[in-house]
Structures are given as structure tokens and as C-alpha cells.
Amino acid sequence: MTQPLHIVGAGMAGSEAAWQAVNLGVPVILHEMRPKVGTDAHRTGGFAELVCSNSFRSDDAENNAVGLLHWEMRRCGSLIMTMAGRHQVPAGGALAVDRDAFSAEVTGTLKRHPLVTVVEGEVDGLPPEHWESVIIATGPLTSPALAQAIRSLTGEDSLAFFDAIAPIVHRETIDMDVCWFQSRYDKVGPGGTGKDYINCPMNKEQYEQFVRALMDGEKTDFKEWEKSTPYFDGCLPIEVMAQRGPETLRHGPMKPRGLTNAHKPSEKPYAVVQLRQDNKLGTLYNMVGFQTKLKYAAQVTVFRSIPGLENAEFARLGGLHRNTFLNSPRVLDGLLRLKARPALRFAGQVTGVEGYVESAAMGLMAGRMAAAEALGLPFHVPPPTTAHGALINHITGGHIETTDGQKSSFQPMNVNFGLFPPIDTVRFRNGKRIKHSEQAVERKRAYTARAMAAFDAWLGAAGLKAAE
């Protein structure tokens, strides 16, 4: 008999992981603390309950990275994507669902499966040693007891309880005719070159207008369960710093000291916005010190007023909210196993992905990894040119360490093309040069075409077949 796979948490990731495993013939014991033990956010005991939104975002597999992720999940027989399709509600080009009907059918489907055993109740510490294979998929509201047990095993800096997210910009959309590369005082940090930051200069008038826009921009409120979580030192929202006085930012994250505008060396910037490389591919740059509670629309407007970022495209916008997630690049291996105890595998938002779909996708991968292990089969991660492979690469090895002696700035991320290996810009079609405005569309289609071919090749060679 194949030993059962224990899955802790029946959210998006846990439900998908269970489905993948049982369809490969591996029995699952699914542990869910709700409804016996509630959370501040959930209102039911159903599996895969959607808390914040009923949208899975874009379903366009040809032009959008999350749409591509939908496509790849469907190729793997995803339970989450199947049920989303059955309970879809009108939402334009997005995939949105009737959240109650969706959760009810995910719950019923898993509970009826002969290889699934559901155990209600909290796992209030590390799983016992005799559980030979475990997936922890407890999400951003992991119970305090389990979270503390994980920290005790892996170290105090292994688990974060608060997101301080700065916006991340696609490198190719930054205007380098305005901006320039330079570290402050040309300092060469560990692994650095002295030109490790992209710098956006502001004169006095631009700076003062920017500060006013920050303070006037519409802000989001903390959710009820976040309100008891205070701001941490070094994680103040940029607009809160601005409210402390008009010169605060200019003497904080936007200080111009030690920087010389390469394009206008005789003009001293009044303030400077710095962006730091965020991934090893060099395709993404984060805005240093710009964690924020501005609403998304306000962020786009305000941050595009920064010289050099007028046409910026954001891989992720900023935020500040309660979230439990691992410092995955340090504590997980390439198969999502805890280095300190490989019998424990993690999946979902706790690994450092953001969003319902991304969480379910990591559950899909973890379920297949654990099933392959139980069946004595090798498992190869999808290539990084695919959406699943790009996400796994981000959370296990694609993040770049800071070069200025600070702690790792690893943060949760939605799937986006900035996580994929770069592809040459498509400039010609049928021998004719295409307009610059159309090149971005063609580039996205090139990313998705490459990904689909690679994913199908991976799936065909994976050796994992659904049980009869």
C-alpha cells in the first residue's frame, strides 16, 4: 500500500494538491481546521473558500501571464480550473466565479473521492514524524501555533507575518535617457558593481508635486484582521513618511546624496527615486522604500509622474498587509521541500506566491511532486519558460539577494512575464517592420507560444499518468 499523503489546509493550494495526488493513485488525508477552528477572514468551513475576491483575473492565455497559467493548469486536469469553469459568472475578459457554488463543489468533489479522507481539526504544531509525506498549504492565515513551530525549526528570519511590498517595474519600460545606473557614492557592495541601482532624478518642483500627490492619493484601509498588526520599523508606507514633513522623503528613501546624474552631471538632483534589481534575470526592478497603502489606480498615476517612469509597466503594485510567508529561497529546495525536514513540502501563498491562481498552481505542482515521490518516480520541474516553472524558479532560486548588506527582500509575487527568461523583441512580421505600439503585444504572444510548447513537451515527458 502507498503511504497516505497528509495535506494540511484545504484552501486553493491544498484542494488542488489533494486532487492531483489522488488522481495519480496516491491516498490523501486532508486536514482542515475549519469549521472547528475559524479564522478572522473565512466565514464558512468549505474548501477553497474565496475570501477577498471572486476573480481569477485574466483568462487570456495568448496575451497574459495569468491566463497562460490557467491554460497550463487545465492541461494538468486542475480541479480548481474545472470548477471555475462550471461556476463562471460574467466578468468581461476575466474569469470570475460564484464563490459559494464554487467552494461547495470543490468540497463535495474531494469529500466524495474514495482516496480522500478528511480530518477536521487544527494541526497545532509540526506534523508528527510518522507522517512520512506532508504538504503544508495553510495560506496567509496560518495558525499561530503552526507558524511558531515552523519558525522554531527553520530560524527566526524564515517566516514573515507582514508584507511590506514596494512596486516592481518591468526594466524595459524605464526610460534610461532620463535615468541612470549608479550606487550611492559608487559603493561596491557584495556582488555589486557600483552601478546597482537605477536612479530617477527630480527637481524641487517635481518633488513637491510628488509629495502632494502621495498625501492626496486615495488609500486602502487595513482589513479587520490586519488592524492589530502594527507598522514595523523600516516598513512605513511612503505616504506616511511624507505626512511627517515635506523634507522627510528627501532625507530618507529619496535622498540625492552620493548620486550624480549621468545625463546632466552639472545639475544636482533635488531628490532621487532608486530602483533595485529584484530578480536574477534582471528583468524586474523594485522601487526602494516605496511600500504603500495607496489604491492601485492612485499608485499608477502617482508613480508614473516620476521622471523616467512615465511609461512604466508594473509587474506588481505596492501594498502593506498581514501575510504569513516563508523566506522560500533560503528554506525550501527546488521541489518545495523544507531543507530542515524534507518530509515537509509547502504549497500555496505561504511559499511566496500571490493570488488565488498562483496558490492553486503551486498546490498542483506540490501534489504532483509528492505523488511522484510516493510512487518512486522521478519528478522534473517544468522549465522556467513556462508559467509554473517561472513561479517555482522565483520562490526557490530566482530572487536576487540585496547588495547593500540588508536582509533579503524576498516578497510574494503574482505570475508575470518579468519572471520568464527574456525573449527577443519581435520587430518584424512577414518581413515588414511592425509598429512600436504593437511590439509589446507580439512579445507577449512570443512568451506564451514558447511556454505552451515547452509545457506540453514537459507534460508528455513527465511520466505521471492518472490512475485508472
pLDDT the model gives residue 468: 54
Stretch 457-463: mean pLDDT: 89
Cβ atoms of residues 37 and 122 within 8 Å: yes
* pLDDT per residue as tens digits for the range 343-364: 999 999 999 898 899 999 999 9
| pLDDT of res. 37 | 66
Given a cut of 70, is residue 417 above it in pLDDT?
yes
3-class SS at 221?
Answer: coil
Sorted by sequence, the CB contacts under 8 Å of residue 393 that are 6+ apart come out as 384, 419
Q: In the 8-state DSSP scheme, what is residue 184?
A: G
Whether pLDDT at 230 is above 80: no
Best-predicted range by mean pLDDT (97-101, 198-202, 242-246, 285-289): 198-202
pLDDT at 226: 47
- Please calculate the CA angle 147-168-225 and round it to the nearest 5 degrees: 35
Chain center to CA of 203: 34
DSSP 8-state class, residue 237: -
Distance of alpha carbon 47 from alpha carbon 328, whole angstroms: 25
Measured CA to CA, the distance from residue 201 to residue 262 in angstroms comes to 10
Q: What's residue 410's pLDDT?
A: 77
Q: Are 118 and 110 in contact (CB under 8 A)?
A: yes
Please say if the pLDDT value at position 189 is more than 70: no
pLDDT band at 232 (very low <50, low <70, confident <90, very high): very low
* Residue that wins the pLDDT comparison between 63 and 45: 63
pLDDT, tens only, 387-399: 999 999 999 987 6
Greatest mean pLDDT among 50-54, 180-184, 398-402? 180-184
**Burial of residue 398, with CB atoms counted within 10 A of its CB: 0-12 exposed, 13-18 middle, 19 or more buried:** buried
Given a contact cutoff of 8 angstroms between Cβ atoms, the answer to whether 353 and 362 are in contact is: yes
Write out the H or E segment, with its range, that includes residue 211: helix 204-216
Distance CA 183, CA 313 (A): 23
Residue at grid coordinates 540625492: 256
- Residue 220: its pLDDT value, please? 74
Task: Give me the torsion for CA of 203, 205, 210, 216, rounded to 10°.
Answer: 170
- What is the predicted pLDDT for the residue at 359? 96
Q: Per-residue pLDDT for 233 more than 50?
A: no
Q: Is 165 helix (H, G, I), strand (E, B) or coil?
A: strand
Task: Return the DSSP state at 240.
Answer: H
Instruction: Check residue 384 and give its pLDDT.
Output: 96
Q: How many Cα atoms occupy the beta-carbon half-sphere of 167 within 13 Å?
A: 26
Distance separating alpha carbons of residues 302 and 211, to the nearest angstrom: 9
pLDDT band at 171 (very low <50, low <70, confident <90, very high): very high
| Region of poorest pLDDT, from 339-343, 443-447, 463-467 | 463-467
**Cα angle: 73, vertex 75, 25; to 5 degrees:** 90
Q: Most confidently modeled of 223-227, 249-253, 431-435?
A: 249-253
Q: Is 199 helix (H, G, I), strand (E, B) or coil?
A: strand
- Could you give the C-alpha distances from 136 to 15, 306, 351, 442, in angstroms and in order? 11, 42, 10, 39
Reference 336, options 376, 378, 367; nearest CA is 367
The stretches of 113-190 forming alpha helices (DSSP H) are 144-154
**Average pLDDT along the chain:** 87
- pLDDT(41) > 60: no
Given a cut of 70, is residue 224 above it in pLDDT? Answer: no
Split at pLDDT 50, 70, 90, the class of 404 is very low
Q: Which of 53-57, 215-219, 283-287, 435-439 has the lowest mean pLDDT?
A: 435-439
Q: At what angle do helices 356-374 and 79-86 cross, to 10 degrees?
A: 140
pLDDT of the residue at 402: 53
Q: What is the pLDDT of residues 100-120, one digit of tens each?
A: 899 999 999 999 999 999 999
* pTM of model > 0.85: no
> CA–CA separation, 413 vs 355, rounded Å?
8
Taking residues 431-453, report their average pLDDT: 86
Check: CB of residue 315 under 8 Å from CB of residue 305. no
The 10s digit of each residue's pLDDT in 287-323 is 988 888 899 999 999 999 999 999 999 988 887 766 7
